[in-house]
Amino acid sequence: MIAEKANELGLSILNKQNQQIMCPIALHPTIMKQEVYNTIETITYQLSHVLNQIACETDILYSLKQYKDLLTLQLLDQLDVKKSILKDMYQSHLQFGVFSMRSDFLCEKGKPFLVECNTIAAGMAPLGQLTSTLHKQLGHLVNNDGLTVQTEYFISLIKQFKDSYNVNGIFLVIQQTNENNIFDHIALANSLKQKGVQVQFCEYQVLCGKIQVSSSNILFYENQPVACAYYRCGYQIEDYYNDFATRMIIECANCFSIPSIEAQLAGMKPLQQMYGELNSNIKSCLKNITGLDNISVNLDQYVLKCSAEGGGACVFGANDINTKIQQILKNDTQNQYFLMELINPDSEGENTFISQKGSETHLNTVTEFGLFSYFQVNMEKVVIGGYLARTKDIATKEGGVHCGAAVSNSVIFI
C-alpha cells in the first residue's frame, strides 16, 4: 500500500541501474522540539545574510585560492572574466544572483550544529514535501511546504523579470547527464507549470548550442527568453566538460542565475569557519575546523573533508584518516582538505525503514535536518520554508538518500 501511494505521488528516485524506484522512507516521522527548530530557523536566516555579505565582498571569495581546488580556481577565474565584461554594471548585476540554499543540521545533546550549507544544486525541497504528504495520508500530523515555498519564490523572480523586460520568461533547469535526481526536478517543474510557467530541461553538456544573448542582454534558450537558469549541476568540475564559457554567457546575461558564481563560491566548505567569525550566533552552532598543517587533535573525533563540493568524499576513523592524510601529503594536496570535529548526534530511538521493494528494517536512528532558504544577492529579503529530513542508522556516517545511506522522512514539531 505504501509503495502504491508513493508512486501515485511521484515519490521516486533513480537507482544505479537508471531505473525508477520508490524513494525509501521512514515509516514514522521523527520528533523535534519547536525550540530546536526555532534555533535552526534563526541560524539559517543569519547564514543567508552572512553568505550574501561574503558574495558581495569578493575579496573574501578570493581567499579560496589558497585551497587550490580545481573547480574553485576555475570559478574564481570566471569571476574575474565576469567583472571584466560587466565593468561598471557589475554591482547592479549582482541582483541576478540567487541563493537557493539548504542548511543541514544534526543535533547533539539537544543543540543543533551545522553540518554544511549547500548553495548550488540545493534541491530536494519537493522530495521533502512529497514525503510529508505521504505521511499525512498515513495519518501523521506533519506539514512541509518546501515545494510550495520554492515554487512561489521562483515565480516571484519570473514576475520580476517580466516587469523589467515586458516579456514572459521560461524556467530553465540545467542538469547533469544521467541525472539521478530527475523526479525531484519533475515535481518542481509540474508545480511551476500549474502556475502557468513554461519549464525546459537541458543537460549542461549540450547547452552551448542552444542559447544566445539578444542585443538587450536577454538570454534565449531555443528562441525562448529565459527568466531563471536553475543549476542542478555545476558543483563538480566534471559537470563542465572544460566549457566554462557557457556558464559565463548565462552569468552575464539579464536572467536570474540560481546560483550565481558569487553565491556558489560563498557556500564553499572552506569558508564555513568564517561564517562564525562574522556572526557569534552562527559560531555557537559550528564544530571546530582545522587544516592538515599541524594536526594535534584526536582523529577519532574528527571527519576528514575535501574542500570540493559533492558528497561521498568524507573519511572517518583515525586509521582511515591517517592513511588518507599520508596520500594527501605525498600528492602535496593538503590545502584541498580539512578536518572537522564530529557531531555526535542524539539517538531518536527505533524507527522502521521502508525500502523501494516494501521490505521493512528496524534501526536505531538519527535525522539530519536541512532547512531551505532563498535570497537574492545584494537584496535584503530572506525567504525560509520547507525542509529535507534524512533519517539513517545511528551507526552510519554518510547521510545521502540516493546513495542508500538514509531514507526520506518528515518531522513532528512539539
Is residue 342 part of an annotated ligand binding site? Answer: yes
Q: How many CB atoms sit inside 10 A of residue 366's CB? A: 25
Q: Is the pTM of this model over 0.75?
A: yes
Is residue 341 part of an annotated ligand binding site? Answer: yes
Share of the chain above pLDDT 90, in %: 73
Share of the chain above pLDDT 70, in %: 97
| Average pLDDT rounded to a whole number, residues 119-141 | 93
Q: What is the spatial distance between Cα 240 and Cα 138, in angstroms, rounded to a whole number?
A: 43
Is residue 340 part of an annotated ligand binding site? Answer: yes
Where do the domains of the chain lie? 2-287+343-413, 288-342
What's the pLDDT score for residue 15?
A: 72
- For residue range 247-285, list pLDDT tens digits in order: 999 999 999 999 999 999 999 988 888 899 999 999 999
Q: For residue 102, give the C-alpha cell.
A: 539548504
Q: How many CB atoms sit inside 10 A of residue 16's CB? A: 9
What's the pLDDT score for residue 308?
A: 65
Is residue 310 predicted with pLDDT exceeding 60?
no
Which of 145-154, 251-260, 376-385 is predicted with the least confidence, judged by mean pLDDT? 376-385
Q: Give the Cα-Cα-Cα angle 287, 276, 144 (nearest 5 degrees).
A: 75
Is residue 203 part of an annotated ligand binding site? Answer: no
Is residue 40 part of an annotated ligand binding site? Answer: no
Pairwise pLDDT comparison (177 vs 62), residue with the higher score? 62
Domain topology for 288-342 = Dna Ligase; domain 1 (3.30.1490)
How far is the first Cα of the chain from the last one, in angstroms, to the nearest whole number? 28
The residue with cell 537557493 is 100
Is residue 96 predicted with pLDDT exceeding 80?
yes
Which of 110-114, 262-266, 331-335, 340-344 is predicted with the least confidence, judged by mean pLDDT? 331-335
Which of 8-12, 284-288, 304-308, 371-375 is predicted with the least confidence, judged by mean pLDDT? 304-308
- For residue range 33-48, list pLDDT tens digits in order: 999 999 999 999 999 9
What's the pLDDT score for residue 312?
A: 58
Diameter over CA atoms, the chain:
61
Is residue 398 predicted with pLDDT exceeding 60?
yes
Is residue 102 part of an annotated ligand binding site? Answer: no
Nearest to 7 by CA among 130, 126, 178, 140: 130
Which one-letter DSSP state was computed for residue 297? Answer: S
Mean pLDDT of the chain: 92
- For residue range 102-118, list pLDDT tens digits in order: 999 999 999 999 999 99
Pairwise pLDDT comparison (239 vs 334), residue with the higher score? 239
Amino acid type, 13 = I
Is residue 286 part of an annotated ligand binding site? Answer: no
Is residue 392 part of an annotated ligand binding site? Answer: yes
Same fold, 2-287+343-413 and 288-342: no
Is residue 402 predicted with pLDDT exceeding 70?
no
What's the pLDDT score for residue 359?
A: 81
Domain topology for 2-287+343-413 = Rossmann fold (3.40.50)
